[in-house]
Amino acid sequence: MYDHFPISDRAKKMRETLLKFMDDHVYPAEKTYYEQVAEGDRWQPVPIMEELKAKGRESGLWNMFLTHEAGGYKGAGLTQLEYGTMCEIMGRSSIGSEPFNCSAPDTGNMETIFMYGTDDHKAKWLQPLLDGEIRSCFAMTEPAVASSDATNIETRIVREGDEYVINGTKWWSSGAMDPRCKIAILMGKTDPDAETHKQQSMILVPFDTPGVEVIRPLSVIGYDHAPHGHAEVKYTNVRVPVSNILLGEGRGFEIAQGRLGPGRIHHAMRSVGQAERALQMMCERGMARTAFGKRIADMGVTKHWIAESRMEIEQARLLVLHAAYMMDTVGNKVARREIAMIKVVAANLSQRVIDRAMQVHGAQGVSQDTTLAASFANARTMRLVDGPDEVHRETIAKLELKQYRN
């Protein structure tokens, strides 16, 4: 159906493998996963996920996000477009990515170290990340400033001899609550007096460095996403060797740009996947439940919602695949309008579709008995992740108006 998009037979085959894996292993594990998280210490690895990861490793889909060969792993060599179609499927379950070592922010962090790290960085951090033995976080957003405007960032990285000394507070460091989180990629200012886009640098901060202090977990609309979590982390006189800097001082923005495009595709396709699953649940529930002598699916408004959802999902999916295709063919920079668009479209789409599915489920829809409530909280949050929608709408409008400026 989508075969105007260039997707290799190999990718199609991997997609089939993935679909089967989801049916055989992931969906049936969801209930147990949440039960295991709820029991005892929430902030520990979840047994059933470790089992899923073991199976994922054998599936041939382990690290499939990886484009190239790295750390002994032969990258899957998928295009953004091809990997995008995988993200949609993994995204249908909130526990669908980790079995393949394809969760955010680890994928982005691995890509970053792969592209910008030294051999030493790779040996020390990329390898165990690729092996799924450790986890990582990305330390960018700060509580005190509107971080969607990255020039606001206040964390300082100051060189003293052979070391950089880091001071600042970051929050929304996703994954940082996990006890296996061993490394942070941190963005901060090395030179506040440089020109705006040269003030920032990115640096690797081993998470056990003295002065790194996890303050607390943040919740997103009632969910803490344990054991992964979103942490507020304070950095007080944290000292790391100068060799930990990525690419060099003042190149933080450059790295951020390179990282950003693929992440958007992944997020957006996962959102499409979430919406697709919500639509499926809406239909199933509509067919199964009767009120006032009628199947809910046969009520006019339900059908209206199903049709709207289908139309919105198809459009969003085409938009994201198209953006991925453009990234593959003309690159991030030319595709920046498309990348901004999918950010806004996909998150809003999935909130709308899930909202309708909840309504069809009645009170059950907001409870812990389905995945809808957690998906809803997640979709709502995605409208803020990587900058609120409004920042991206602004970008789109500016690119549009540019054509008319004299």
Restricting to residues 313-372, name those near a second copy by CB under 8 A. 314-316, 318-319, 322, 325-326, 329, 337-338, 341, 344-345, 355, 358-359, 362-369
Relative to beta strand 181-189, strand 135-139 is: parallel
Which residues between 277 and 306 bind a second copy (CB under 8 A)? 279, 283-284, 286-287, 289-292, 296-297, 299-304, 306
Among 68, 74, 307, 333, binds a second copy (CB under 8 A): 307
- The count of other CB atoms within 10 Å of the CB of residue 332 is 18
Q: Please give the Cα distance from 337 to 323 (Å, whole number).
A: 9
Region of 42-50, 188-196, 235-243, 391-399 interacting with a second copy (CB under 8 A): 391-399
Of the pair 256, 384, the CB lying nearest a second copy is at: 384
Choice from 148, 167, 169, 209 touching a second copy (CB under 8 A): 148
Nearer to a second copy, 198 or 337 (CB): 337
In degrees and rounded to multiples of 5, residue 48 shows phi and psi of -65, -25
- Contacts (Cβ under 8 Å, ≥6 apart) of 114: 66, 68, 70, 122, 126
Restricting to residues 105-144, name those near a second copy by CB under 8 A: 141, 143
Our CB check for a second copy shows the closer of 2 and 10 to be 2
CB 373 to a second copy: min, Å: 5
Query: Residues 38-77 vs a second copy: string with x where CB under 8 A?
Result: ----------------------------------------
Q: Which residue of 69, 149, 162, 213 would you call a contact of a second copy, by CB under 8 A?
A: 149
Q: Tell the smallest beta-carbon distance from residue 345 to a second copy (Å).
A: 6
Question: x/- binding map, residues 203-222, to a second copy, per CB under 8 A?
Answer: ---------------xxxxx
* CA–CA gap between residue 157 and residue 166 (Å, rounded): 5
Q: Which two tokens stand for residue 138?
A: 């990305």
- Binding of residue 152 to a second copy (CB under 8 A): yes
Q: Is 19 in the site for a second copy (CB under 8 A)?
A: no
Write the interaction track for a second copy spanning residues 154-193; mark x where CB under 8 A is met and - where it is not.
Answer: -----------------xx---------------------
DSSP 312: H
Shorter beta-carbon distance to a second copy: residue 93 or 302: 302
Q: How far is CA 233 from the centre of its chain?
A: 19
How many Cβ atoms are within 10 Å of 192's Cβ, its own excluded? Answer: 9
- Taking the CB of residue 260, how many other CB atoms lie within 10 A of it? 16
Tell whether residue 15 is a contact of a second copy (CB under 8 A). no
How many other β-carbons are positioned within 10 Å of the β-carbon of residue 318? 13
d(CA 256, CA 268): 18
Distance in Å, CB of 405 to a second copy, minimum: 7
Nearest to residue 29, comparing CAs of 50, 15, 43, 57? 50
Write down the H helix ranges in 117-182.
Answer: 119-121, 127-130
Q: DSSP state, 366?
A: G
Q: How far is the CB of 187 from a second copy (least distance, A)?
A: 16
**Element (H or E) spanning 138, and its range?**
strand 135-139
